[in-house]
Structure 1
Amino acid sequence: MTAIKICGLRRECDIDFVNEAMPEYIGFVFAKSKRQVDARVAKKLKDRLHPDIKAVGVFVDEEAERIADLCKRGIIDMIQLHGKEDENYIGRLRTMTEAPIIKAVRAGQMTAQELHGISADYYLIDSGKGSGKTFDWSQVPEEIRVPWFLAGGLSTENIEEAIRKLHPYGVDFSSSVEVDGYKDRDKILEIVRRIRNVKR
């Protein structure tokens, strides 16, 4: 089954929507963004989140100590790195927390061999820093050995094709499940329903 991640939650009703839809993961964006939340808001939302859904914190070149603190406080369960974090940074972060790490990489920038040089637990492949735009799927390296998420421009229009063609571990959504910049219950429920029905 393809794992689902709904990113950029910031309101209590967003949590209610995902608790109904039950994706495997949700994302709190701590990096500067229109969807940014602070630790106080994220904690309030996490307390409301169904315990079977993992909360991922999204960061861009954040201090490792701050990320580890959010993990220690139980505000996030996993870490997603979207900046220039290198192996030294990841190694340092691992000395502070056991939380799994997702490293975002831009499609077409790395071969499978180069990807495997990154010691993350998961990769997230998209068109660039959360642009919400689809990219040429042929840029995804073949034979990726680490579980990976596909992101960027995924919607009800193309999600079934994406899963059948690329067989990602997971798929990541944000803007495509929004109306006027806010998460929409019906869009979330519909995309989750479609993914659950895809035969890989």
Structure 2
Amino acid sequence: MTKIKICGLTRLDEIKVVNEVFPDYVGFVFANSRRRVSFDRAVELKGNLNPLIKAVGVFVNEEPENMIRLCKEQVIDVIQLHGDEKENDILKLRQYLENDIIKAVRVKETEDIIKVAGLPCDYVLLDTYLEGQYGGSGTAFSWDLIPQVSKPFFLAGGIHSGNILQAVKQCNPYCIDVSSGVETNHLKDPYKIRKVIEKIRGI
């Protein structure tokens, strides 16, 4: 069954909702974003999260020491590199950590996906390319650009309850990643979270 990740959690009431509906992953954003959380807030959120739900830390060109610390202190379970990180950056993390690593790519063409799939990460995340923006666009890219991918991949970018089933059917991702698609007025909406999870679990 396709897994689901609810990204960009910032508040304890959102943790309460996800504990009830049980997505496979949640995301804490440590990069510059309106959804950014501090180290202390992430500790509080993780402390209230059901331990069977994996917490993903989302980073853009972050110092490796900070990501290593968050993993060692079990604030996050998975690293998501959403910036310009290269092979050497991933290998450096591998020296210190056994945590899974997701490498995101903002897709302009099929070749972008093929290149990232060749990196020493565990998963690839496919997101929408927008000039000057690392993610969180709320818009979808053309899924026709996705080739046969050598690694399991997360599919992000403009996914919501209205297109999630089409995304699964057309792209066969390992995991669907939603953020703005489960928000109302820039806040996570419990109804929308439940809706996407019901849809994906009902396949």
Q: Same fold (TM over 0.5)?
A: yes
State the secondary structure of the residue aligned to 1:163: helix
Partner of residue 101, structure 1: 101
Q: Does 1:16 align with 2:16?
A: yes
Residues 104-133 of structure 1: CA deviation (Å, up to 9, x unaligned)? 002234535423321110000011322110
Q: Which amino acid aligns with 1:139?
A: L
State the secondary structure of the residue aligned to 1:115: helix
Are the aligned partners of 2:124 and 2:151 in contact in 1 as well (CA < 8 Å)? Answer: yes
121-130 vs 67-76, which moves further: 121-130
Q: Does 1:180 align with 2:173?
A: no
The residue correspondences of 1:27-66 to structure 2 (distance < 5 A) are 27-66=27-66
Partner of residue 158, structure 1: 163
Q: Which runs of 5+ in 1 are unaligned?
A: none
Are the aligned partners of 2:55 and 2:78 in contact in 1 as well (CA < 8 Å)? Answer: yes
Are the aligned partners of 1:108 and 1:140 in contact in 2 as well (CA < 8 Å)? Answer: no
Distance across 2 between alignment mates of 1:113 and 1:85: 16
Moved over 3 A (4+): none
Distance across 1 between alignment mates of 2:180 and 2:30: 17
Q: Which amino acid aligns with 1:74?
A: Q
Identity across aligned pairs (percent)?
Answer: 48
Are the aligned partners of 2:117 and 2:124 in contact in 1 as well (CA < 8 Å)? Answer: no
Q: Which amino acid aligns with 2:3?
A: A
Q: Which runs of 5+ in 2 are unaligned?
A: 130-134
**What RMSD, in angstroms, separates the aligned Cα atoms of the two structures?**
1.1
Are the aligned partners of 2:136 and 2:157 in contact in 1 as well (CA < 8 Å)? Answer: yes
Partner of residue 122, structure 1: 123
State the secondary structure of the residue aligned to 1:26: strand
Given the two structures, how large is their TM-score scaled by the length of structure 1?
0.95
Q: Which amino acid aligns with 1:117?
A: G
Equivalences, count: 197
Distance across 1 between alignment mates of 2:189 and 2:114: 39
Given the two structures, how large is their TM-score scaled by the length of structure 2?
0.94
Partner of residue 7, structure 1: 7
Q: Which amino acid aligns with 2:159?
A: L
Distance across 1 between alignment mates of 2:114 and 2:169: 23
Distance across 2 between alignment mates of 1:25 and 1:116: 21
Distance across 1 between alignment mates of 2:194 and 2:60: 29
State the secondary structure of the residue aligned to 2:6: strand
Are the aligned partners of 1:4 and 1:172 in contact in 2 as well (CA < 8 Å)? Answer: yes
